[in-house]
Amino acid sequence: MRRVQADDANAFAVLFNRHHGRALGVARAVCGDRGRSEDAVQEGFLTIWRSRATFRSGRGSFKGWAMTIVRHRAFDGVRGERFGTRPPSATTGLQAPIEAPGSVEDDAIARDDAKRLQAALGQLPDAQAEVIVLAFYGQLSHSEISAQLDLPPGTVKGRMRLGLEKLREAADTVSVPNPRYD
């Protein structure tokens, strides 16, 4: 990141390639479809490039900072579509095919579970959704989330607990994985 802050575009390309997959997962958790997710990742990395001078390694990891920016861009895109300030993407409503082998029935169940979990995540307060997205899709630990959001660890754990309880109530048949613990 120091090289990126010194305007090294090649170093930025390395960071993008290293974190693109994880960023796409974070955006997909918010947006629900691949097209909007890719837009959010692109906008997020443009924001990262433009605001590279503001990154401070002492406040948290690059990964946490980047995933937070991508998540915010994804929410901006979803909110923009919801309120009519942004035209829907060409792939709105379409799901990317599931690449894992399995039966058509298993694929349909997995897509249905993902849609219900996505809808339940969208109903959470932003503070709870943020820590859950960073934990599951950003693969950050509670302490990394705490440092990234500048919150006490107990607050992060409390938000996580409350959010997961609400997700389990809303999507009672969807298996909600456990977050990574310190």
Structural domain boundaries of the chain?
1-92, 102-182
Does the structure show a pLDDT above 90 at 14? Answer: yes
pLDDT in the model for residue 91: 37
pLDDT in the model for residue 119: 74
Closest CA to 120 of 105, 133, 107, 139: 133
Query: What CATH number matches the domain at 1-92, 1.10.3720.10, 3.40.50.2300, 1.10.1740.10, 3.30.750.24?
Result: 1.10.1740.10
Share of the chain above pLDDT 90, in %: 24
Does the structure show a pLDDT above 90 at 58? Answer: no
What is the mean predicted confidence (pLDDT) over 12-41?
89
State the CATH class of domain 102-182.
Answer: mainly alpha
Residue 54 burial (C-beta neighbours within 10 Å; 0-12, 13-18, 19+): exposed
pLDDT in tens, 107-155: 566 666 667 777 777 788 888 888 888 787 777 788 888 887 888 999 9
Indicate if 102-182 has the same CATH topology as 1-92.
no
Does the structure show a pLDDT above 90 at 64? Answer: no
Does the structure show a pLDDT above 50 at 99? Answer: no
Q: Which tokens is 60 given?
A: 């948290």
Instruction: Give the range with max mean pLDDT: 40-49, 87-96, 117-126, 148-157.
Output: 40-49
Residue 166 and residue 158: Cα distance in Å, rounded?
Answer: 12
